[in-house]
Amino acid sequence: MNANVKSINLPEAVSATLNIDQQVFRQGMSNLGAAVNVITTAGLAGKAGFTASAVCSVTDTPPTLLVCLNRSASVFETFKSNQVLCVNTLSSSQKHLSNVFGGKTPMAERFEKGDWSTLVTGAPILEGALVSFDCEVVQSLSVGSHDVLFCHVKGMKQQAGEKALMYFNRAYCEPVPMV
């Protein structure tokens, strides 16, 4: 079977693929727009943070979200040990923090780039984030290279009137309401 099918019956802009390798999957996923979040933790294992779009709501009974985290990430052991985290959903004016927490910047320097407080768990809450979900990690599941962390929301902070930061088609975007 031909791995990459591009039928002559399909318009030029359309492609279908049956052999889904990492590159093809990532290309496909670039079409799934998502919010940009800085995920933080603090506790006996120390303080850490990273940028993630793989966050989603699971259920409101009880209020639960999930975060996907690569087990080979440098921050993994810190999160695993602390068992608390905060999902800070960035506003569009915080684009620089996405790069700081998504790159190779040393951990201490990352936190110097923003202003932080705490609410319930002690995980760092970012000033000016659209919303911060202060969470306890209650369950985790290993799936391939990643752990999926299921988190109960124990506190929340919101900032009204800010624009969102989204990542779509490998570019930072702002969502504009449709008329």
Per CB under 8 A, 105 contacts a copy of itself: no
Q: Find the length of the chain.
A: 179
Single residue of 35, 84, 86, 100 touching a copy of itself by CB under 8 A: 35
Cβ-contact 80, 71 below 8 angstroms: no
Stretch that binds a copy of itself, among 40-48, 76-84, 100-108, 156-164 (CB under 8 A): 156-164
Name residues whose C-beta falls within 8 Å of residue 135's C-beta, 6 or more positions apart in sequence: 65, 84, 85, 86, 87, 121, 123, 151, 152, 153, 154
Single residue of 3, 57, 77, 115 touching a copy of itself by CB under 8 A: 57
CB of 121 to a copy of itself, least distance (A): 11
CB of 70 to a copy of itself, least distance (A): 8
Cβ-contact 118, 92 below 8 angstroms: no
Residue 107 Cα distances to 46, 78, 113, angstroms: 10, 12, 11
Which is closer to a copy of itself, CB of 25 or CB of 81? 25
Per CB under 8 A, 116 contacts a copy of itself: no
Per CB under 8 A, 131 contacts a copy of itself: yes
